[in-house]
Structure 1
Amino acid sequence: MDLFADNQLSIFNATRQNLLPFDGEVFLYPNFYQEDGVYDLFEELKHTILWKQDKMKIYGRSVNFPRLTSWYADNDQSYTYSGVVNIPLPFTPLLLKIKQAAEAQCGKQFNSALLNFYRNGEDSMGWHSDDEKELSGNPVIASASFGATRTFQFKHKEKKNAMISIALSNGSLLIMQGQTQHNWMHRVPKTTKDPGPRINITFRDIKY
């Protein structure tokens, strides 16, 4: 299965536009992965990824993350975020194909991937930046989305009125780079509507 059309890449590269007004670089390719087979990709990811329910501490209480997660990498190094220690699983053939497509677009090699499974509109991701020390410098992060469309929001860390909302649809690829993680936070907010399930894969290069 071809994940994306070769003739689309030159169009995307020629017309890409930075979605952030300042202090960072974010690029969106809404139809990066071809329509044919994209829903099959979602179903395969849903049923073959080893999903887990992580917990976090809030005011001394242990509560479930409002989503399912999984961590894959090409080595056996653990990775800690939000207080959770993740032991990686080896990349599946499908994850490798998706990763290679993202790498071709970014011109960047990735060695790991954090996956999030948003089961319904109640599942979410709070405000945060991907600024862990293992990412170092100005990380390039490629975020692939499959399944239902969800809103993805940015807000500036200092300029509180600077906020941007983006619709991440099935088969889209979002690239965050430059100073983005230093100056902006992002989230996937809850919604009272039930858009259906969504799987997000964020590819990154972890420095151990």
Structure 2
Amino acid sequence: MQQDLFLLKYRNLLPYQGEVGFYDGFLAQEVADLFFKLLEDQVPWKQEPIWMFGKKVMQPRLTALFGDPGVTYSYSGIEMKALDWIEPLAEIRQRLKAHTSVDFTHVLLNYYRDGKDSMGWHRDNESSLGKNPCIASVSLGATRNFQIRHYESKSNKIDIPLNHGSLLIMAGESQHFWEHQIPKTKKELGPRINLTFRKLI
């Protein structure tokens, strides 16, 4: 697999059943600063309702989807139609392709306004992502703690600070056997933009 060539460069953070690679300096600080400002200003952010435990609630963050035309993306009861690529996202996509050799087709953006915004435990295992998807997560803005744990045993929890300009790759069987979240925090934090690039089939 193409992403395996990327993951060979980095220590696998998972003990078994999947691969997670982390690169803290994917974007230089001044480049990450520029992308953060451009995306904060240019993306039409929305707060969407989702189904959780049989109830419809508003997501504790803002979102947007960009990608190739003709394919929608669905999760948690939401069906999102991709907006056309804008220049900052297209450039990051090209940087990721050069870095990983993966042709990502879409990017889901999450805007965390402060420490109260979050993402609960979940797996990116929708059928539209294929059997063993490669997810490339680029972080911009405030550092947030990314947590991953084994889905069945809820053990082997790993904490990874996702810094400004960092890149996290989840690949192989990771979405079958591991779940991840961005928990709330009481710390005074500025905003964060997370870009999760994926290849829809």
Fold shared, TM-score > 0.5 on shorter chain: yes
Match status 1:140 vs 2:134: yes
Runs of 5+ unmatched residues, structure 1: 1-11
Pairwise mapping of residues 55-66 of structure 1 onto structure 2 (< 5 A)? Answer: 55-58=49-52, 61-66=55-60
Query: Counterparts in 2 of 1:22-171, with a 5 A limit?
Result: 22-58=16-52, 61-171=55-165
Name the Cα RMSD after superposition: 1.6
| Distance change (3 Å), C-alpha of 1:192 and 1:76 | same
Name the SS of the counterpart of 1:134 in structure 2: helix
Task: Give, in angstroms, the shift of residue 63 of structure 1.
Answer: 2.2
How far apart are the structure 2 equivalents of 1:59 and 1:157? 18
Identify the match of residue 181 of structure 1 among 175, 178, 185: 175
Cα distance between partner residues in 1 of 2:17 and 2:56: 36
- 1:57 Cα offset (Å): 3.4
- Counterparts of 2:34 and 2:148, CA distance in 1: 30
Instruction: Normalising by structure 1, report the TM-score.
Output: 0.90
The TM-score with structure 2 as length reference comes to 0.93
Distance in 1 (alpha carbons) for counterparts of 2:56 and 2:121: 19
| Contact 2:65/2:81, CA 8 A, preserved across alignment | yes
Percent identical: 45
1:114-172 deviations in whole A, cap 9, x for unaligned? 00000000000000000000011111110000000000010101232211010000000
**Across the two proteins, how many residue pairs are aligned to each other?**
196
3-state secondary structure, aligned to 1:41: helix
C-alpha displacement at 1:59, in angstroms?
A: 5.8
Match of 1:7 in 2: none
1:94 maps to a residue whose letter is: P
Q: Secondary structure at the match of 2:92?
A: helix
SS of structure 2 residue aligned to 1:36: helix
> Equivalents in 2 of 1:13, 1:55: separation in Å?
35
Amino acid at match of 2:79: V
Q: Deviations over 1:165-196 (max 9, x none)?
A: 10000000111100100000000000011221
Deviation at 1:14, TM superposition (A): 7.5
Contact 2:7 2:21 in 1 (8 A): no
**CA distance in structure 2 between the partners assigned to 1:112 and 1:69 by the alignment:** 13
Deviation at 1:61, TM superposition (A): 4.7
For residues 178 and 122 of structure 1, the distance between their equivalents in structure 2, rounded to whole angstroms, comes to 31
Give secondary structure in 2 for the equivalent of 1:71. strand
